[in-house]
Structure 1
Amino acid sequence: MHPHLFRDDSDEFHANPPTHQQANLAPLALILADIIANRRLTPHFQPIVDLAAGKIIGYEALIRGPSDTPLHSPGLLFQTAMQVHRLVELEILCRDINIEFFSRLNLPGKLFLNISPKSLLEENFPKGFTRNALQRYGLEASRVVIELTENFPILDVTTIHHALQHYRDSGFQVALDDLGAAYAGLRLWTELKPDFVKFDKYFIQAINQDKHKKQLIQSLQDIAEHVGCQTIAEGIETIEEYYTVQSLGVCFGQGYYFSRPTPTPPLDIPQQICLHVACTSRDQGQDFKWRSETVANLIKTVPTIGSQTTLSEAGDLLEKVPELMAIPVVDEGFAGGMLHRHHAMNVLASRFGRDLHGRRPIREFIDRNCLRIETDIPIEQLSQIITNENYLHQGNHFIITEKNRYRGIGQVTDLLKRITELQIRNARYANPLTLLPGNVPIHESIERLVANATSFTACYVDLDHFKPFNDTYGYSRGDMVIRLVGRILQDCSHPQQDFVGHIGGDDFMVLFRSEDWQQRCRNILQRFADEVIEFYNEEHRQAQGIAGQDRQGQPVFYGICSLSIGATCFDGLQDCCSHHDIATLASEAKKQAKKIQGNSLFINRRRCWQLDTASTATDDGA
């Protein structure tokens, strides 16, 4: 984040502002002097979360000026300090206050301290100040990360490198902030070799909908892994953004999705987000799976009250609306809790209840621990949260929010009803023989992958010589072989990253996101070859097939059943408009695979844009 320095319209930084600005600066300079003299700054801390484990690993320290002054905004605060030549004093004070409150709050993990390159280059910046402050407040240097903000051109990289090396020698780690936001970020990354690099929030916003952003972050992540640098995604605000950056391998994240910067930050991320992380750790393919719908479909609009409403006024509302079992308490768009009918009426109905408590504000009676759920959470996940023992006693209602702002309430009974309906729908579209998802979920899964610009490989799987086997041994044993194929496909696919569907008959579709998909296909072929032989009698095993006649009555020999797999790869940037294009290419590959004798894998190199043209691509058989 950019906490400190800003440019004017000329795209230059001015240590000495133009003369005509002096009059406007004078009152701000006086306010700044008072702020520095009286330490009138409030530290805010935003958690940085391990995206795989769902644990807070540290906090970025930010600063705010007094709320009753124009310098409350950090932008104007630091701009003013720079213009009146007090930037070093302000940064010293910020650093001291941030360290003091981080220690006083006993926050876990690491403290990320923003430091501007300008302060590193200042000769009058006191040497050893940060180390002395840590000793004063009882913190180890190993718990502090010096976060270099890229907020103006760094011309003297060598001096910056030496200054940061001094911090490293003292036990600190180094982070490069806002990679890609400005100036020579990649050059700094190469020359400074930071321990952490932060991806600018611009590249994280709506990354789940932007294939180019996704490709860029994937490339930067690959570089980070190669050079041994840990990555942090800034500005995560939605569950989709979280799922996407987590799936790309980004180590850590911060943003409003986890918590806003606040003077008293959480020690743990909210329980429902913990469950999201846990589910994603088990299921990297959450966006990939055939999902149903989100909590947004459960929203009910009901009357709300503010926290200053009296208990008597709330009681009047409950009497006027007898079907209202709970009232959300909302102030300026944020839900503070919920007033339950049974609790309010019990208090008011008690002896002298209305006289004793009727004028008291409702905030004294509300349930502040009621469940709050974001609109974009899948309802299956909400069901898991609701059935958690911590929420079983909280009644039938929960608050629904969107980016933490109140949207409405939901009812557990509505949730259970909808889940039942969806289970019936899912069963309707599942193949009755293998119980695997059928054509509708296959198409939906492909469309979702294409919409999210996800790289994947579509594999069309078909049985060879199945009809003569079925004719010889009967449909019952034929069904057993089909179920065997379904079971092997599931066993050899990644349970979270890959999708297995049953098109019908002896045709299957596997959508691989696993990087080792080719090895998985080989495992499928080998295992099928080893197990299918058990369905033949001894005579056919010895002969390695079945002797029969073709439609013209001519003798023909059918080998042991084998699998043909036709694979087509998509890198997430292909111009594939729909599942029809992908199905066409996968079907083409399957036809080529069937031309190869025995268990075979054929990889189609054609792309969607080539469907209407003659193929000139090179195809591989394996």
Structure 2
Amino acid sequence: MIAKSRLDIKEVERRRQFKEIVAQRNISIVYQPVVNLTTGEILGYEALSRGPEDSFFANPLNLFGYAQKTQDLYGLEKIAREKALAGLGQLLRETKLFININPQVVNDPSFRPDEISEFLTSLGAGANQVVFEITERTSIDDFSSFRRSLEHYRQHGFLIAIDDAGAGYSSLQAIAEIQPDFIKIDYSLIKDIDKTTTKKKLLETFHIFAQKTNSQIIAEGIETEYELAGLINMEIPFGQGFFLARPEYPPPVVDSRALSCLSGFNKGTAKVSAGRMIPVRNISQPAPTVPVNSLTREALDFFTANPKVEGVAVTEDEYPVGLVMRDKLFNQLGTQYGFAVYTERPISLVMDTQPLAVEDDTPVETVSQAAMGRLDHKVYDSIIITRNRRYHSLVSVRSLLDALTTMQLEVARFASPLTGLPGNLRIEEEILNRIGGGLAFSIVYADLDHFKGFNDRYGFERGDEAIKLTAGVIATMVRESGKPDDLVGHIGGDDFVVITVPEAAETISQGVCADFDRRIPELYDPEDRQRGSIYTVDRKGQDVEIPVMSISLAVIDCLPNEYTNPEELARVAADLKKHAKKKPGSVYIKERRKRIPNN
């Protein structure tokens, strides 16, 4: 009885404290940046609420959990929203605000997005500067009703994010049903992403899914430079976490150490292949826009006066809010009542409210993948290019594919004609990029033993088959055990190179040796295969017996600032390969000398 009484007293006091917090609006807001992992620029800030210090409600989980239990969630979230908007103020004109919203509040009839729109208008900001984060830790029971509510907010121009994806209830169902603009991956999947294969594959799945559904990934909870490097290697576009910046008020900038790492990592992983790092702005064309308050007739007049224009962006205060394509507009107006119904009505009734829009520094290859991943009826629509989320230009799908094809042909010029693998120019460029990136990496140099004797015995055609088989063995092993950004190159003749991360180098080398030994006998005649050797004539005219080909690998771990150019690495590799070739069969030798990196 006494224990129950104490609990009752504690609950009464807690209830009093909570009511006081709401009445006095005693909630503080801190902001954590959401950062572009390519440029280091701030996409927006997530607003995080805190209760009074040194109280039970200082922890936001306690604060909002209690509000949900007592059915006071709407009132508390309303206060948090208003304070978050006011605290960011004029920054809303150039950056986004991510606001956490419980699914229960979304369906609350008291929740009126027009109130937020009015506040944004007073600042000269658009509704597309606000992103509603739907927490994934709370279940959504009726997706049909929930989706209708969200569509109402989208019509006002607000953006939607799924928060904590991968942490709770039905992530994939929520993403499929809601079709968010952003997918925020829970910190539990990001922790140790650089060394956890399963987490990496799961994040890759989310990333591919996002590209095909016109969403963008935000990685939450980045706490180390290694996690950051892993995410950059995977081309995850945005991230947030303590390593980038801690939540603070006033809104903080990105930590200088994190910016330095971003610069180095992006330099170190740069690629020219397939236009991967060619920004889309290089192929876009400036194009006029129509204001969102225009009539459909004005867009029709614009297309009539400009017969070569395929599409036009619809903007509100410099921010794109829609897209109108010529063929779709003409088809819509060409129906029995279309012209009469729409020409004197707002353009917003006929525009696509969710066009594909990308920042102007997005790589051409990434934009191409996103464009081709759209729904069938949108796949040939123009892509809106933005700069700091403001309208910049348009690019057509034709221009995009032409540019990608040209870049791929340019890359092919420097590839080995026999194996199709990157040649010396690309290999040298990658080594320099890795050296400049400031991270440790490994290089595996490979060449064949007894290849000349094989060539003499069977001829150049079968020799080419041996080279192609070797290329396939190495590429397959790197694909299975390496990283997405690893490079397999063909130096020439029977020499190959792999550029990878230190933790994968030995696994790759072991796999190459084993698979090569298993596959190479296929190229020998049956009697030679059975004997395990071939007979050929040496330079002195003497018959000599030569073993079946094997492969020798030299593995070099490169510490940051240890090497300055590819030639230094080649000299070390040549010495290692001499030792490897003295050993019978397929082997790899790893450099194990203690070295002091240059400072």
TM over 0.5: yes
1-structure distance, mates of 2:303, 2:420? 48
Partner of 2:458: 473
1-structure distance, mates of 2:377, 2:229? 28
CA deviations on 1:118-152 (whole Å, 9 max, x unpaired) are xxxxxxxxxxxxxxxxxxxxxxxx989xxxxxxxx
2:367 aligned with 1:366, yes or no? no
2-structure distance, mates of 1:302, 1:318? 12
> Match for 1:521 among 504, 509, 515?
509
2-structure distance, mates of 1:597, 1:434? 27
Any gaps of 5 or more consecutive residues in structure 1?
1-32, 52-58, 64-73, 112-141, 145-194, 200-216, 226-231, 256-260, 262-284, 612-622
Contact 2:274–2:411 (8 Å) recurs in 1: no
Letter in 1 for 2:106: L
Any gaps of 5 or more consecutive residues in structure 2?
1-18, 38-44, 68-72, 78-100, 108-133, 139-166, 170-185, 200-217, 242-246, 248-267
Report the 3-state secondary structure (helix = DSSP H, G, I; strand = E; otherwise coil) of the residue aligned with 2:289.
Answer: coil
2-structure distance, mates of 1:301, 1:104? 41
Contact 1:302–1:408 (8 Å) recurs in 2: yes
2:136 aligned with 1:109, yes or no? yes
Report the 3-state secondary structure (helix = DSSP H, G, I; strand = E; otherwise coil) of the residue aligned with 1:596.
Answer: coil
Counting only pairs closer than 5 Å after superposition, residues 149-548 of structure 1 correspond to structure 2 as 234=220, 244-245=230-231, 254=240, 290-292=273-275, 293-342=278-327, 360-388=345-373, 390-393=375-378, 395-495=380-480, 497=483, 498-513=486-501, 515-537=503-525, 540-541=528-529, 544-548=532-536
2:550 aligned with 1:562, yes or no? yes
CA deviations on 1:253-309 (whole Å, 9 max, x unpaired) are 558xxxxx9xxxxxxxxxxxxxxxxxxxxxxx9967945234333321111233233
Compute the displacement of 1:458 (Å).
0.8
Partner of 2:173: none
Contact 1:298–1:411 (8 Å) recurs in 2: no
Contact 1:566–1:591 (8 Å) recurs in 2: no
Measured on the aligned residues, the alpha-carbon RMSD in Å equals 5.3
CA deviations on 1:501-541 (whole Å, 9 max, x unpaired) are 22211111122337243233123223323333343345545
Classify 1:499/1:387 alpha carbon distance in 2 versus 1 (closer, same or farther; 3 Å): same
Taking every aligned residue pair, what percent have the same amino acid on both sides? Answer: 31
Counting only pairs closer than 5 Å after superposition, residues 18-167 of structure 1 correspond to structure 2 as 36-37=22-23, 62-63=48-49, 96=67, 97=73, 102=102, 103-105=104-106, 107-110=134-137
Contact 2:440–2:502 (8 Å) recurs in 1: no
Report the 3-state secondary structure (helix = DSSP H, G, I; strand = E; otherwise coil) of the residue aligned with 1:110.
Answer: coil
Compute the displacement of 1:487 (Å).
1.9
Contact 2:294–2:346 (8 Å) recurs in 1: yes
Contact 1:330–1:336 (8 Å) recurs in 2: yes
> Match for 1:595 among 582, 587, 591?
582
Larger Rg: 1
Classify 1:482/1:350 alpha carbon distance in 2 versus 1 (closer, same or farther; 3 Å): closer
Aligned length: 416
Contact 2:371–2:379 (8 Å) recurs in 1: no
Compute the displacement of 1:475 (Å).
1.1
Compute the displacement of 1:462 (Å).
0.6
Compute the displacement of 1:400 (Å).
1.9
What TM-score does the superposition give when structure 2 sets the normalisation length?
0.55
Compute the displacement of 1:338 (Å).
1.4
1-structure distance, mates of 2:402, 2:524? 47
Letter in 2 for 1:105: V
Compute the displacement of 1:583 (Å).
3.8
Letter in 2 for 1:104: V
Most deviating of 91-100 and 410-419? 91-100
Report the 3-state secondary structure (helix = DSSP H, G, I; strand = E; otherwise coil) of the residue aligned with 2:294.
Answer: coil
What TM-score does the superposition give when structure 1 sets the normalisation length?
0.54
Report the 3-state secondary structure (helix = DSSP H, G, I; strand = E; otherwise coil) of the residue aligned with 1:567.
Answer: strand
Contact 2:450–2:550 (8 Å) recurs in 1: yes
Contact 1:585–1:608 (8 Å) recurs in 2: no
Report the 3-state secondary structure (helix = DSSP H, G, I; strand = E; otherwise coil) of the residue aligned with 2:455.
Answer: helix
Letter in 2 for 1:442: I
